[in-house]
Chains A and B, each alone.
Chain A
């Protein structure tokens, strides 16, 4: 049986952002490709964070896949190779007959990379209703994380119908950043119920930095003492969902 699988991006930024986001959580990644597109889902080793990526066929310049396939890569190896692409270079991936990952960068750079055994486990998603939703520009969110990091290892988010409060507390002091409805950094706020959640910057910072400005905006959804879900809106990618379990004082 010959496998038909080929996916070609128009530039390299999106793929770089995706791989970089994945690299903050896992060392090995298993991707699933089918006629609809490519997906990835995985948790970090301590099961605190989960990343769920769905990359529909429409996001690619060219996409062909006539069978369900899974392929596993070592993220650091894949990442190094993708980084060899210039911003405007297209990247085409496929699987060779000898079961290697084929990566064509631009017109003439052809890599073959070893695949690793793909993991079989089907990770579910957290089932929770979200009481609060906050939309931010990605640069505003990145700044808030930086501001809080100065005094704390954790970010506390409190959302009311009229404003979002980001705060942190540590040995050296505390910080409070208020974003009122109507401010330009706050693109959306909808709150069913006033909610407060605390989340580790150790996990938040790397992923936000990894996706960077490839995402124009982010949406944070959460409920009190429940996981946070961040959606990164990347123009050419369906979505990157990052789930982070809360810290709970008890």
Chain B
């Protein structure tokens, strides 16, 4: 019996639980002193009264790498999991509708800091490994309920600070403005999550904030792309990392975007998931969740930069080596990396898909049968008849 990709994901997540229960206690203590990379985390559990707090490793100095996924490309799964495990997550229960008070303000200062922030935290009890992993956010180490927290040495990024104090600026516009000035997406996402933008501010769980920022930015890029000329031929970009194989096929057609995922579990069973949009955008939460928006962002950045429009098919094959899901950042960075590679220039769309599937274990026929794109392309465009 074949399992859904969701079930396969669940079994993969069990690996992380096992890993954490084995190594998580190494960091068990009732106090912690270290430099937050900077990093803040908002949970989803018990929404709208959620667990909020900083993430801090037990070391001082330049810990920035620990929470900037833009810099993780090329690292192995073990390296990423190991350094993430050292991030201890302090929590306090806060209502998402009330992102105010001293504690939240401190976290906002941490989130907008351009450098790691020294943190001293006392916990009610020893920290314990809590084995939650959502597959969207990057994993982290043990958790402890905060009794007292002190932060020092943060230095606010000016552009973020301006958006923070601008209470007339809509959250969406703040995200776009910061993105356009070159602030790392991961930092924008943290600030968004900790309730720093918009007219009516609230906390947004980290997992949702990752999707929201990818969605806001990619949507804006696609609006721009819709005005550009179509790409002149079919191009195929590929990139593999962390047991994930990506192929991106661009071809001359008004914007269409489909992403298909195939997951392998340890028993060699395959689960599929896919989602699709045309120029009207996607009107439902995608089944493949945050990966959809992360991939769309990576491709849209390429098209906008090259001032060109195309229809896009993204294929992602997830190998059993991807034993612990490290977050959707790896999709975003994987796609961004692919789009920097030299593309294969295909003689036709068919040729392009053949090339894209060549290195994958899923056949072209299987991909096409699971996707919607080719069914949707039976719909002609009115401009074909001008």
What is the interface of chain A, defined by CB distance below 8 A to chain B?
Answer: 43-50, 124-128, 200, 226-227, 243-250
Contacts and interface: CB of A to CB of B under 8 A. Distances in A.
Given A124-B386, A248-B378, 9 more contacts: A44-B279, A45-B279, A47-B381, A48-B379, A227-B382, A227-B385, A243-B382, A247-B379, A250-B378
Nearest to B255: A46
Contacts of B381: 46-48, 245
Nearest to B277: A46
B254 to A, nearest CB: 5
Interface-central residue, A46, A48, A124, by most chain B CB under 10 Å: A46
A84 to B, nearest CB: 26
B382 A244 contact: yes
A168 to B, nearest CB: 15
8 contacts: A46-B256, A46-B278, A50-B382, A200-B379, A226-B385, A227-B385, A245-B380, A245-B384
Contacts of B280: 44-46
Interface string B270-296: 000000001111000000000000000
A248 B382 CA distance: 13
Given A45-B226, A248-B378, A127 B279 contact: no
Interface in B234-282: 254-256, 278-281
Contact of A128 (B226, B279, B385): B385
B31 to A, nearest CB: 54
Given A44-B280, A45-B280, A245 B385 contact: yes
A126 B385 contact: yes
B180 interface: no
Nearest to B278: A46
Contacts, number: 56
B214 to A, nearest CB: 20
Interface centre among A49, A248, A249 (most CB of B within 10 A): A248
A47 B386 contact: no
A248 B378 CA distance: 5
B378 A127 contact: no
Contacts of B254: 46-47
Contacts of B386: 124-127
B383 interface: yes
Contacts of B256: 46
Query: Lowest 4 CB-CB distances: which A-B pairs, in order?
Result: A45-B279, A126-B385, A46-B279, A46-B278
Interface centre among B278, B380, B384, B386 (most CB of A within 10 A): B380
B382 A126 contact: yes
B23 to A, nearest CB: 50
A226 B254 CA distance: 19
A124 B384 CA distance: 11
Contact of A245 (B279, B281, B382): B382
Nearest to B378: A247
Given A46-B254, A127-B385, A127-B386, A246 B279 contact: no
Contacts of B382: 43, 47-50, 126, 227, 243-245
B225 to A, nearest CB: 11
Contacts of B279: 44-47
A48 B378 CA distance: 11
A249 B378 CA distance: 6
Given A46-B278, A46-B279, A46-B280, A248 B385 contact: no
A205 to B, nearest CB: 15
Contacts of B383: 43, 47
A14 to B, nearest CB: 25
Tell which of A48, A226, A249 has the most Cβ of chain B within 10 Å. A48
A247 B385 contact: no
A64 B279 CA distance: 37
Query: Most chain-A CB neighbours within 10 Å: which of B226, B281, B378?
Result: B378
A154 to B, nearest CB: 9
A50 B256 CA distance: 18
Interface in B363-386: 378-386
Contacts of A43: 382-383
Contacts of B380: 48, 227, 245-248
A243 B385 CA distance: 11
Nearest to A25: B280
A98 B380 CA distance: 43
Contacts of A48: 379-382
Contacts of B384: 245
B221 to A, nearest CB: 15
Most buried by A among B256, B380, B381, B382: B382
Contacts of B385: 126-128, 226-227, 245
